[in-house]
């Protein structure tokens, strides 16, 4: 009987050590819309499931959520194709305290339709639904919009210190730069948990 409790005790210790290591590894990382953006994350609370689906009724979006961190160049990863979005998994999960970030393509190559082509048509008060792997949905309400240069260091996109839960949607906008293979700006939609 004591052996069972001992195993549980060691499992809790191992989880705590691995969680602490994860926390320390994301305190000062580069998370660019442009490269070399140093950001500090609030404490991440474990408990909600992984995000798997996002719905934006006003835009008729119902899409799968991929999970990814950074590219080898140190930029935030983008979805594999035009139809899905990607949750930045080095930050909090949607619904947890802090600023979760989901990005998706717009203005995709060969004029192929992309999930966030109409993101700029969202309006203040529109709702966004994020479902987790257990079927629980978290609702976010659009608060404001900002446009940043692709080389900007917008720490407010990836972090917050107000103790609330936010979801920030990011996509490309502006002119296409052939030499850099990217658009000139990033549109960010800031939302708050309902």
Q: Could you report the per-residue pLDDT of 71-116, keeping only the tens digit for each? A: 888 888 889 889 999 999 999 999 999 999 999 998 887 778 999 9
Share of the chain above pLDDT 90, in %: 49
Which superfamily, per CATH, for 2-193? Answer: Sortase (2.40.260.10)
What's the pLDDT score for residue 183? 67
How deeply is 93 buried, as exposed, middle or buried, from its count of CB atoms within 10 A (0-12, 13-18, 19+)? buried
What global pTM score does this model have? 0.74
The residue ranges of every structural domain in the chain are 2-193
**Helix/strand/coil percent split, the chain, to 5:** 20, 40, 40
Give the 3-state secondary structure of 139-160: EEEEEEEEEEECCCCCHHHHCC
């Amino acid at each position: 009987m004591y052996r069972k409790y001992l195993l549980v005790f060691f499992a809790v210790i191992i989880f705590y050590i691995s969680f602490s290591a994860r926390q320390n590894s994301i305190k000062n990382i580069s998370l660019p819309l442009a490269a070399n953006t140093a950001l500090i994350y609030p404490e991440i609370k474990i408990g909600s499931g992984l995000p798997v689906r996002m719905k934006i009724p006003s835009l008729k979006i119902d899409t799968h959520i991929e999970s990814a961190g950074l590219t080898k160049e140190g930029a935030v990863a983008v979805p594999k194709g035009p139809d899905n979005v990607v949750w930045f998994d080095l930050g909090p999960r949607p619904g947890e305290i802090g600023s979760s970030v989901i990005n998706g393509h717009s203005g995709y190559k060969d004029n192929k339709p992309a999930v966030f082509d109409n993101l700029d048509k969202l309006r203040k008060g529109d709702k966004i639904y994020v479902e987790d792997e257990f079927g629980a949905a978290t609702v976010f309400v659009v608060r404001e919009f900002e446009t940043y240069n692709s080389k900007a260091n917008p720490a407010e996109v990836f972090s917050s210190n107000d103790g609330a839960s936010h979801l920030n949607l990011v996509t490309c906008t502006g002119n296409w730069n052939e030499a850099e293979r990217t658009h000139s700006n990033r549109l960010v939609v800031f939302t708050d948990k309902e």
